[in-house]
Amino acid sequence: MFTSQVLPPGLPLSAILASICILLASGSTQAQTMPPNFAVTLDMQGTRLASHQAATPQNAVQEIKLKQQLILQKDGHFRSVSESVWPGNIKFHFLSSGNRDGVATVDLLQWRQGVEIEREDATKSRNAYADYLFLSPALLLEHASNRQPIKLPGKLSGQENEELEQWSFNDAAGRPASMIMERSSSTVLSAKSANFTYEYADYRAAENFKQAQKIIIKNGDKLVVQWTINTQVADHIDAHTFDLPAGYIEQQDKGTLRATMIAPGTYRVDGSESGYHSSFSVGTHSVAIYDAPVSIAEGSKIRALIEQTAPGRKLAYIVLSHTHKDHIAGTPAYMQEGIQILTGKDGRLAVQRQLGEDVASKVSEVSAPRELDLGGRSIRIYPMASSHASDMLVAYDEGYQIIFQGDLYYLPEIGPVPPVFDVGMELDSLIRQHQLQVQQLVGVHGRSGTWQEFKQALELRMAARPAMGKT
């Protein structure tokens, strides 16, 4: 059971930290309460093993470089600035700020979310704060409630473990969890929440505040994230630290699920729950569908929409831009006799691994340009070994000069044109190589773009190149 002690206002930081000691008393661990405005800043660098996001279909996981600064205040305020780099040098950079009432997230690069603020409710914010506390064992202890000992067996049968003690508790969101501590030092060695296990090592003292500098996170027995952490502590944080930067707007209503015509017989699916966009081309007898995100449930709704929009046409082709799971997870919803699933080279391996043999049996790999006859409309498929995914496919409708692609070129739903990543330059090379005339570029994320916007994005990249080379 924890004991609480109200610390006098204005107490110097050294005294506050000295009072955050973990004591062993009569076989139970006690912690004195930190003041509400006490804050820990964790500067973290590490790697994540991301499932089904590899640069090649042969690999099930991809190592992703991570960087994050996390500020955790005792009263429930938090601020996270996260960076990650994905295959193709695609960079994410988000800022989230939350408290007990909710959390808001903005895209600092403004390419994925644009200038819209994504807000989530109090429950999700409290869950996020509780999750973050597992990265700071001392704060985790401070927020733990309903602690109960769990007997750990010793070296001899029937004896209690003399070196370690285990506790069950409820975390800051009221969810069940457990931890194992070293008796002699009262150091938390590991903690478990749902399927996730956190392993702590290399404790250092920052102003007498003990913090693990190495944390390994596992989902079951699978390694997920490894962090190396530097720590700073403060007796208070300026309230404006938790403000969002200027220039962002509230999230706009995207409407209900619908097929938006972007050219005669060519549609983009808008208003999905996930925010992803499938597209499809309709001929006199057949339909080609571009990508199948993000789940069977969403795929089923989109299939019904396509059949309503193009009644009597055969669903002949699903063109998977690449076999990352968020782009293919809805594919089983389209399974029927005669349908072909088109992937790039070795894409069948990834489809089979993620979706099973029944779906993989429909796969036809495209290793050279291929023509699809939809009846009165021809779609050309170009394979490319992109640095984002080696099994990348790009579809081209010559009649209306439309490119269909996934993850090669991004425009936010609402926001300015951002510079392209490396993969955008790869797309430009493919367009030049095949001398394609392009008016529109349709993607899975964000709004469709014009050729003029694509050229602007390329120019922005070239202008930013010296600065980008320094990062």
What are the tens digits of pLDDT across the range 313-350? 999 999 999 999 999 999 999 999 999 999 999 999 99
Residue-range domains of the chain with CATH: 13-242 (2.50.20), 252-469 (3.60.15.10)
Whole-number Å distance between alpha carbons of 280 and 334: 13
Residues 138, 210 contacting (CB under 8 angstroms): yes
| Average pLDDT, integer, range 89-93 | 97
**Does residue 13 surpass a pLDDT of 80?**
no
Looking at this protein, which amino acid is placed at residue 133? L
Q: Nearest 5°: phi and psi at 313?
A: -90, 145
**Does residue 217 surpass a pLDDT of 90?**
yes
**Does residue 455 surpass a pLDDT of 60?**
yes
The two three-digit tokens of residue 369, written as one number: 């340009």
- Burial string for 368-377 (b: 16+ CB within 10 Å, else e) reads eebebebeeb
Q: Poorest-confidence range of 31-35, 40-44, 260-264, 278-282?
A: 31-35
The two three-digit tokens of residue 82, written as one number: 């996260």
CB atoms within 10 A of CB 173: 18
DSSP state of 66: E
Spell out where 108-186 has E strands: 116-120, 145-150, 164-170, 176-182
Residue matched to tokens 């004896």: 159
**Does residue 11 surpass a pLDDT of 50?**
no
| Average pLDDT, integer, range 212-237 | 95
C-alpha distances in angstroms, 194 versus 139, 213, 214, 219, 450?
Answer: 19, 23, 21, 9, 46
How many C-alpha atoms does 72 have within 13 Å on its Cβ side? 28
pLDDT of residue 17: 39
Global model pTM greater than 0.85: yes
pLDDT of residue 198: 99
**Does residue 16 surpass a pLDDT of 70?**
no
